[in-house]
Chain A
Amino acid sequence: MPKPTAIAQAFWDQKSALWSQGIYTFKEALGGYALGCSLGIFVALLFAAWRPLSSAFMPYAVAANAIPIIAFAPIMNNWFGLLNPFSKMAIAAVLCFFPVMINTLRGLTSVHPSSIELMQSYAAGRVSLFRRVRIPNALPHMFTGLKVATVLSMIGAIVGEYFGGPTEALGVKILNDSSYGNFTDAWAGIVMASLLGIVFYAVVALAERLTTSWHPSARAFHTE
């Protein structure tokens, strides 16, 4: 492994190229993230609202999740085209879908039975139960999935690019540098990818703090 100082030097020297490559890949990751997470939340809502649907389709979701992403990547590149950013978004989306879906579903369904009886005692309907109990109850769980998905979306985009992509992509740069033996430059690319992943994670974690400040885990934020 190259010396950290050498990697830092390479990072500094190439910062503008790395930045534009990073942003290119980050946009793919973000697109896939938005797609995979919204789909995950939507399916979780469907499954929670209609249990038979959940028992019918959950095995497929679990099986699909077990397929290694490496197997998906070339197929997506083939379907959408190597240079089409949508091929990488699709891979990122597949990676994000499952953790968001499964965590959100757990949050929607792990409501204490007496919470539901209380709503029944008020003759509240299903929509009201979702809006006032199930969805707020699911938020902390959903954010657990959303945070995991930030890092997964970056991994998905970069792995997709390893199987072919435009030269302005960070994954392609890392792959090319490695195959030419420029490991210092490759590491600089990896640092860029990690930085973007960390920032992405931090932004979602901040959103979590803002929307679930009521949660007991946010106790420290309630010091009076």
Chain B
Amino acid sequence: MSAVSIKGVSKQFEAGVTALQGIDLDVEPGEFVSLIGPSGCGKSTLLRIIGDLTKPTAGTVQVNGKPADRARRDHEYGIVFQDAVLYDWRTVSKNISLPLELLHWNRSRRNARIKDMLELVELTGFESHHPWQLSGGMQQRVSIARALSFSPSLLLMDEPFGALDEMTRERLNAELLRIWQETGSTVVFVTHSISEAVFLSTRVVVMSVRPGQIAGLVDVDLEQPRTNATRESPRFFELVTQVREQLAAAGARLGETQEPALVEDQV
């Protein structure tokens, strides 16, 4: 059973914008899949459709074998947005505790889990801080801890490190990979950074714009665990080039206004 199964998904907004057209994608349990593409190609929309935060106008989405709305109600996934979306009135601990409260966990179970989560994202000692007392990178770690606190099998991330500086981003990339391996979860990760996509993923989904379609898939066969040395390996550069060329090709096809059928042949 796939962790995520997307069949023939299209999304048209009322304004007449076709954000997505004919998306087919299966994500297997334990995979780390990145969606990459130019801004406006529908990455966020696709992620939100997987999370049942918006409905597709055509097609179906299943998460862990359940329809997306059922999966959401069953808390099958945790989500992380670009801005950490932490509540100012809650301390770090209380922010992590939010989904647990909604799941009616009792206090001692919540506290034990919060402690584990703080260790996981290396924020022990910051439990009673308020979000605005933390740096952007720390806020995003709280957001990841919150998304993982109730042990969902699927983690959806929409450009979680997009607003951070390069150094913080690389540190959090490494941390995310460690967490992914420790928890054994499946990750669908939106980014517009080619190197980030290649470094993190087991598979990169390249998307084209207007309408948003899948232009190609790149299997990332870099060995695990990935380290700073990975970023310097020749294979890493080959894969980065491959993704870049697919992105360029998708853009070029758009420029030549070729038949959409040709794009589908590539998939």
Task: Encode A100-119 as 1/0 by CB contact (under 8 A) with B.
Answer: 00000000000010110110
B11 CB to closest chain A CB (Å) equals 16
**In the complex, A120→B52 CA distance in Å?**
9
Rounded to whole Å, the gap between the CB of A171 and the closest CB of chain B is 40
Q: Any chain B CB within 8 A of the CB of A139? A: yes
Q: Are B88 and A216 in contact (CB under 8 A)?
A: yes
A115 with B102, Cβ < 8 A, contacts A123-B72, A214-B90, A216-B132 known: no
A118 touches B88 (CB 8 A): no
Are A118 and B130 in contact, CB atoms less than 8 angstroms apart? no
Q: When A121-B51, A121-B72, A123-B75 are in contact, do A136 and B83 touch as well, CB less than 8 Å?
A: no
Which residues of chain B are near A115, meaning CB under 8 Å? 85, 87
Contact A120 B130 (CB under 8 A): no
Is A214 within 8 A of B89, CB to CB? yes
**Interface presence of A222 (CB below 8 A):** yes
Within 8 Å CB of A216, what residues of B? 88, 130, 132
How far is the CB of A174 from the nearest CB of chain B, in Å?
Answer: 43
Verify B77–A121 contact, CB threshold 8 A. Answer: yes
> Is A215's beta carbon under 8 Å from chain B?
yes
B133 at the interface (CB under 8 A from A): yes
Q: 1/0 contact trace for A124-162 toward B, CB 8 Å?
A: 100010001100110100000000000000000000000
Taking a contact as CB atoms under 8 Å apart, the answer to whether A136 and B53 are in contact is no
Is B98's CB within 8 Å of the partner chain A?
A: yes
Shortest distance in angstroms between A97's beta carbon and chain B's nearest beta carbon?
A: 26
Residues of A close to B101: CB separation below 8 A: 132
Cβ of A122 under 8 Å from chain B: yes
Interface size, chain B (Cβ < 8 Å): 25
What CA separation (Å) do A214 and B133 show in the bound complex?
Answer: 10
Quick one: which of B79, B83, B133 contacts A121, CB cutoff 8 A?
B79
What 11 new A-B contacts, CB under 8 Å, besides A114-B81, A120-B72?
Answer: A115-B85, A117-B48, A121-B51, A121-B53, A121-B78, A123-B75, A123-B102, A132-B101, A212-B89, A215-B88, A219-B132
CB–CB A114/B83 < 8 A: yes
For the complex, what is the distance from the CA of A117 to the CA of B156, rounded to whole Å? 13
Across the A-B interface, give the 4 residue pairs with the lowest CB-CB distance, nearest first.
A136-B89, A214-B89, A123-B73, A216-B132
The verdict on B99 contacting chain A, using a C-beta distance below 8 Å, is yes
A interface footprint on B153-193 (CB within 8 Å = 1, 0 otherwise): 00000000000000000000000000000000000000000
A214 and B130 contact, Cβ closer than 8 Å, known pairs A114-B83, A121-B77, A121-B79? yes
Query: Which among A122, A128, A132, A139 has the greatest number of chain B C-beta atoms within 10 A?
Result: A122
With beta carbons under 8 angstroms apart, the residue of B87, B90, B99, B130 that contacts A122 is: B99
Q: Is the CB of B102 within 8 A of A124?
A: yes
Q: Which chain B positions have C-beta within 8 A of A136?
A: 87, 89
Contact A114 B85 (CB under 8 A): yes
Residues of B61-75 at the interface with A, using a CB-CB cut-off of 8 Å, are: 72-73, 75
Interface string of A71-85 (1 = CB under 8 A from B): 000000000000000
